[in-house]
A and B are shown apart, each in its own frame.
Chain A
Amino acid sequence: MNKWIRLMVILMPFWFLPACSSALSLPAAAYVNLDQRVPLPTPVNSAVVPLRVAVAAVISPQGTVESYTQLLETLQSRLNRPVELVQRRTYLEINDLLEQGQVDVAFVCTSAYIAGHEKFGMELLVAPQVNGETVYYSLLLVPNDSVANDLADLRGKVFAFTDPISLSGRMYPTYLVRQQGSTPEEFFGRIFFTYSHDQAILAVANKVADGAAVDSLVYEFFLAREATIGQKTRVIHRSPPFGIPPVVVNPALRPQMKLELQNFFLSLHQDLQGQAALRAIGVDRFVPIEDSAYQSVRELLSDLNATR
């Protein structure tokens, strides 16, 4: 018996092996008790209400941040007030935010302006001027090596729309298909939405889509940045000029504020910081604009609705 006790004592270090088999010793930076939870603090409403600027998803959210940060920073320093960038997947969501007053200023698409203006009196603030013009076009893009030369050649192919209510990305190509006496669903083999123009361009460049209709402003802006896009894509059709996507405000915005904002945009090109901010979004300067500039688009859309 005694012998066995002695043996056990000798083998004692081995008892602890299984016990310590899952024990670890590592240099830890801090100790945290993961089970000691506290409710998340509800965001405090800061005393200073930020100016909320929405940018419609003409280009992808990341691209938007990269392009508009400088502009918004300039705005923030000029107004001496925090500025918050708001983005949503679709144009309609931005319109809703404007209508509910959750957004003060918005860069919207032409068709979104027409819809918003109709629905709740969305007001024009200013419009960007690009290459001396305040118009843009819808471009029908195909991959560079595609045999297609006009829309008819894209029958039964894969087509990328941008936003459901984008004028250049969906309304205009739909209008073209209707003129062929068909509907997009019948005409194209397959349709998908990219929700932004830069992604539609990339979809064609990478041959994910056989064709897409995009905003000429975005396409040119893209070409200036990435030359390879020009080598991979080809424009087979250019629309008549449309009124450029404007900067709009909620009709309920204080007139004082509206004036202040208008002054800011209109004078942006007058100093170096402003010029840099404008360059970042591919705009020469901002100019005042009237609702009449969008009349042609309005007619096209009503034509489209009529044929539906």
Chain B
Amino acid sequence: MKIPPSLQAIFRRFWDIAGGVSVRSKILGIVLGLVLLLGLGITVQVRQALTRTMAAQLAEQSVSVARDLAARSTDLILLNDLFALHRLLQETKANNQNVAYAFLLDTQGQVLASTYGESFPKDLLAANPIEPTEHHRTLILATNQGYVWDTAVPILQGQVGVARVGLSDATLRTTLATITNQLLLTTALVSLIGITAATFLTWILTRPILDLAQAAQAVAKGDFTQRVKRWANDEIGLLATAFNQMVSELEKADEIRREREILRRQLLEKVIVTQEDERKRIARELHDSTSQTLTSLIMGLKVMEGSCADLQTQLQARELRQIAIQTLEEVHDLAMQLRPRLLDDLGLQAALERLVKEWQVRHRIAIDLMYHVTQERLPDVVETALYRIIQEALTNVARHAQARNVSVLIEQRGDELVAVVEDDGIGFDISKITIGDGAQAHLGLAGMQERAALLGGTITIESEVGRGTSIYIQLPIPKAVEDETENYDFARR
């Protein structure tokens, strides 16, 4: 069956509203809706049935009162006892609270006596004409005082006159109003009970769900200790059990992941430390042994140059000395790059100043270093890491940035070390070069990130095409030497 689009739209609109409210509102809505619908339905039904019954009763009563009046008034009319007639009408009205009016007509259709006294409603007389041959005639008249069941009865086959009685709907209306109000009051009371019951029901139903939602949020934030209580042995209880199982599994998986992470870090640290140590060793070797040898060689060649008479040999010796001097410089540079002795001997500031100076000379790019660190020497690992990170950053600038000016700022902010490397180069689109994408070209960035992460620090890169690049490095400074020893135990080995 195909549902017309308009109906679909209505259904969708309904679902937008119904789906948008809370479970409490839904349950309340269902309960209230049903109670009100039932109350309304019953009220309408009862009113209709009551109206029918009472209208029929009024019609019957109207006939019986009119016939009674006709019978009792016959002799009085014949005897022309107007006072007794008047009294009879008054009694008829007094004895039956539904009687709105009663009057008697003579054979000419003139009013003999009426409950209205001297005056008489203008249109009432003509409202219910009757033939003498009729037994009776009942009509419903609409009046300004409500409906009236008007019955005309000919007295003695019309030979004496006509008795007319009007029964008002006042009782009917009062009864209807009373019944309606009672039913509505009952509906309101039941609604109130319904609201209470629905609220209780909602509480019972939603409490475990809200617990689950809260626990799920906590789990999402990494708190795997959360367990929910199984309130009832129903579907929601089942869900709670499943949820608890899931959290247990997640907890296990998280533990494994955490252990692996620790292992990975330990490994990485070891690699870095080993690398540093190796570099340090090679640098020292180059400095202490190779440099000495080369210096000896240079000295030897210089002596040879001075002592040798042969010009040809002399020139060759000078040339060789020049090569040796160049090699010595290169060895120096290499050692310096591998591990600046300054870093170990004089600290980060001196090492960085040296690095900057040499970098400027080599790449011919203006560079500016600002170093504001109150602590004289920082922990070894911090100094090494920051040095390597800045070294890598500058290498990247030289390689890709096409910058004209670079500034390096190192600042201590409480327990934190903040470094900023800024250039005015071409910049790049960060979204295209993410650190974690594992591409070979960005291993440098990844290395920086890893180094910072090992010490609990972060690196933030800000760049835009044509606007240069800024790298923010933030590293915590470990407090005490004991902690350091404990934390970076293997780093010293």
Residues in chain A within 8 A of chain B (CB atoms): 11, 13-14, 17-18, 21-22, 24, 26-41, 43, 57, 60-62, 64-65, 69, 85-89
Name which residue of chain A comes closest to B139, CB basis.
Answer: A29
Question: Shortest distance in angstroms between B134's beta carbon and chain A's nearest beta carbon?
Answer: 15
Q: By the criterion CB–CB under 8 Å, are B184 and A26 in contact?
A: no
Bound-state CA distance A195–B432 (Å) is: 128
Chain B residues, CB < 8 A from A34: 100-101, 121, 124, 143-145, 148
Using CB atoms and an 8 Å cutoff, list the residues of chain B in contact with chain A. 36, 40, 43, 47, 51, 55, 74-75, 78-81, 100-101, 110-111, 114, 116, 118-124, 127-128, 139-148, 156, 159-160, 169, 172-174, 176-177, 180-181, 184
Contact call B120/A38, Cβ cutoff below 8 A: yes
Q: How many angstroms between the C-alpha atoms of A287 and B216 in the bound complex? A: 125
The answer, among A13, A17, A24, for a CB contact under 8 Å with B169, is: A24
Write out the residue numbers on chain A whose beta carbons fall within 8 Å of the beta carbon of B74: 61-62
Whether A18 contacts B181 in the complex (CB less than 8 A), given A36-B122, A40-B118, comes out as yes
**Across the two chains, which residue of chain B brings its CB closest to A196?**
B75
List 5 A-B pairs, minimum CB-CB distance, nearest first.
A61-B78, A21-B180, A28-B142, A37-B119, A29-B139
The CA of A163 and the CA of B141, in the complex, are separated in Å by 45
Query: Which one of A36, A43, A57, A65 contacts B110 once the chains associate, using CB atoms below 8 Å?
Result: A43
Chain B residues with Cβ under 8 A from A17's Cβ?
A: 40, 43, 180, 184
B147 touches A62 (CB 8 A): no
Contact A24 B145 (CB under 8 A): no
Query: With a CB–CB cut-off of 8 A, which chain A residues contact B114?
Result: 40
Using A26-B55, A28-B140, A87-B78 as known contacts, say yes or no to A38 and B173 having CB atoms under 8 A apart. no
Contact (A35, B121) CB under 8 Å given A22-B177, A26-B55, A30-B127: yes
- Chain B: which residue is nearest A46 at the CB level? B108
Contact at A30–B123, with CB atoms within 8 Å?
Answer: yes
Quick one: which of A18, A33, A43, A88 contacts B122, CB cutoff 8 A?
A33
Residues on the B chain within 8 Å of A28, using CB: 140-142, 147
User: Do residues B80 and A88 form an inter-chain contact, with CB atoms below 8 A?
Assistant: yes
Task: Tell which of A32, A37, A88 touches B79, judged by Cβ atoms closer than 8 Å.
Answer: A88
Which of A36, A61, A85 meets B121, CB within 8 Å? A36
For A64, the chain B residues whose CB sits under 8 A away are 78
Nearest-CB residue, chain B, relative to A64: B78
Give the docked Cα–Cα distance between A212 and B20 (Å).
Answer: 95
Contact check, A65 vs B78: say whether CB atoms are below 8 A apart. Answer: yes
CB distance from A51 to the nearest CB of B (A): 16
Residue of A nearest to B43 (CB): A17
The answer for the CA separation of A43 and B114 in the assembled complex, in Å, is 15
Given A57-B79, A88-B79, output 6 extra A-B contacts at Cβ < 8 Å.
Answer: A14-B184, A17-B180, A32-B143, A34-B100, A35-B144, A37-B116
From B43, B122, B174, give the contact of A37 (CB < 8 A).
Answer: B122
Least CB separation from B25: chain A residue = A3
A69 and B160 CA atoms in complex are apart in Å by 11
Which B residues lie within 8 Å of A22 (CB)? Answer: 173-174, 176-177, 180
B180's nearest neighbour on chain A, judged by CB, is A21
Q: In the complex, are the beta carbons of A61 and B119 less than 8 A apart?
A: no
Are A18 and B184 also in contact (CB < 8 A) when A33-B121, A62-B75, A89-B81 are? Answer: yes
Q: In the complex, what residue of chain B is closest to A66 when comparing beta carbons?
A: B156
Task: Determine if B121 and A37 form an interchain contact, defined as CB atoms under 8 angstroms apart.
Answer: yes
- Complex contact B78–A32 (CB within 8 A): no
Q: Which B residues are CB-close (under 8 A) to A32?
A: 121, 123-124, 127, 141-144, 148
